[in-house]
Amino acid sequence: MDHAALMSSLFGGMGGDPFMFLNLSGLCATTKLVQCKSFGIYQCDVTRKFYKSREEVPDIAWVDLQERKKVVEHVAEWVEQRRGGKARGDPREEWVPILYAYEIVKGSAKKHKDYGHLVFTNLTLTRFLLVFCFGPPSCRCGNPYHDDYDALTKLNADRWFSLCKYLWHDDGPPEWVKATYTTDEYFLDPSFLDSTVTPTPGTRKPGIYHVTEETFVPSLVASEIDRINNLLSQRSKDLVPPLEVRKAVEGRKRDRPNMTSVWIAGEESSPRQCAFCEKVGPQAMPTCSRCKLVRYCSKECQKAAWKTHKLVCKTPNDP
């Protein structure tokens, strides 16, 4: 736990302001958005997270961190080129990573699919880029995951817009949220970073989703909004949005897209949960070295689970 995380846990748990301390490893999107306005965007930049040693980042699998690092570096290079040698460019085009992984509000994510990946904001907090870094483009039997990846990416774009609209109801919603994903075979489409290009729905994969006030689908569920309200009220009850704002962003779980594949449908629980004993640990657990689909807290649990797991355990290239 870094110093900021320690201070946050100490003072946040003592009835203090939960937004007072910046935590580089914090996953709560609600907290991060409030802090972006309170402290400034550069104070919330998580770039340095990607340049720590393996031992310093126990909260995320090393391979996942490296995949996301590629995206962060690619975006930074794009911003630098866009500046054209100037110290600063258009504030609407200066992309800063503020989250390397996130849940809508602390404690709301229950399964692997409930976590988002990278979030970038411009310097005016009016435009956001969401990037998911998925792995294989298809399952072991060859069926593509793209439909599920697209559904999950679009859902999270709507959820991010809903969260911003809820938190900033007095200031107005962001201009837009744009979301896409990468896989082992596909990287970022060049048009994704260009704010002058509005993607149109089509058959291209990976998809790029552009969400605005006119097109967003209310996607926060009641339990998440209750958690958000509780968190905001710890600073001031006046921060809790009125009921009509809640109604404008609240969706229903049964209205969410039906994702079919086992991997992306979230059958794998939290990356900190053992697939055998179901114990939740303090950090991401190692995956099965063969199929990469389940995690174990120890060699003992992996050995105990092998009798049943071996029936379905295959490498991505196995028939």
pLDDT, tens digit, 9 for 90 and up, residues 145-162: 667 788 889 999 999 999
- Determine which helix (DSSP H) or strand (DSSP E) holds 211, and give its type and residue range: strand 209-211
> 200 and 124 in one domain?
yes
pLDDT, tens digit, 9 for 90 and up, residues 77-111: 999 888 877 777 777 788 999 999 999 999 888 77
Secondary structure class of 140 (helix, strand, coil): coil
Is-cis flag, bond preceding 173, omega within 30?
A: no
Residue among 33, 159, 175, 163 at smallest CA distance from 91? 175
Residue among 114, 98, 96 at smallest CA distance from 106? 114
Burial 171-183 (b: 16+ CB within 10 A, else e): eebbebbbbbbbb
> 155 and 119 in one domain?
yes
> 291 and 158 in one domain?
no
For residue 53, being part of any structural domain is answered with: yes
Secondary structure class of 98 (helix, strand, coil): strand
pLDDT, tens digit, 9 for 90 and up, residues 26-57: 999 999 999 999 999 999 999 999 999 988 98
**CA–CA dist 168, 264 (Å, integer):** 31
Which residue has better confidence, 315 or 104? Answer: 104
> 285 and 234 in one domain?
no
For residue 296, being part of any structural domain is answered with: yes
Could you give the percent of the chain with pLDDT greater than 90?
45
Give the tokens for residue 218: 């209310």
Sign of CA dihedral 291, 58, 119, 234: positive
Q: In this predicted structure, what is the pLDDT of residue 201?
A: 54
Q: In this predicted structure, what is the pLDDT of residue 127?
A: 94
Order across the sheet with 176-182: list the strands: 96-99, 118-121, 127-133, 176-182, 209-211
| CB 220, CB 104: distance < 8 Å | yes
Q: Are strands 127-133 and 176-182 parallel, antiparallel or unpaired?
A: parallel
> 316 and 249 in one domain?
no
Q: Last residue of a domain, which of 225, 255, 285?
A: 255
**CA–CA dist 64, 301 (Å, integer):** 23
Q: In this predicted structure, what is the pLDDT of residue 284?
A: 77
Place of tokens 């910046």: 22
| Confidence label for 317 from pLDDT (cuts 50, 70 and 90) | very low
**CA–CA dist 42, 237 (Å, integer):** 27
pLDDT, tens digit, 9 for 90 and up, residues 205-234: 678 999 999 999 999 999 999 999 999 999
> 9 and 152 in one domain?
yes
Rounded average pLDDT over 72-80:
93
> 282 and 215 in one domain?
no
State yes or no: pLDDT of 204 exceeds 70: no
> 165 and 62 in one domain?
yes
Q: Are strands 209-211 and 127-133 parallel, antiparallel or unpaired?
A: unpaired
Q: In this predicted structure, what is the pLDDT of residue 7?
A: 42
| CB 145, CB 263: distance < 8 Å | yes
For residue 24, being part of any structural domain is answered with: yes
> 229 and 191 in one domain?
yes
For residue 277, being part of any structural domain is answered with: yes
State yes or no: pLDDT of 196 exceeds 90: no
Could you give the percent of the chain with pLDDT greater than 70?
79
> 174 and 308 in one domain?
no
For residue 172, being part of any structural domain is answered with: yes
For the ranges 164-168, 190-194, 269-273, which has the lowest average pLDDT? Answer: 269-273
Q: What is the DSSP letter of 274?
A: -
> 292 and 247 in one domain?
no
| Average pLDDT of the residues of the chain | 82
State yes or no: pLDDT of 306 exceeds 70: yes
Residue among 71, 69, 262, 256 at smallest CA distance from 152? 256
Give the tokens for residue 10: 């100490």
How many domains are there within the chain? 2
Residue among 223, 224, 196 at smallest CA distance from 210? 196
> 316 and 246 in one domain?
no
Tell me the residue range of the domain where 293 lies: 272-319
pLDDT, tens digit, 9 for 90 and up, residues 5-19: 444 443 444 457 889
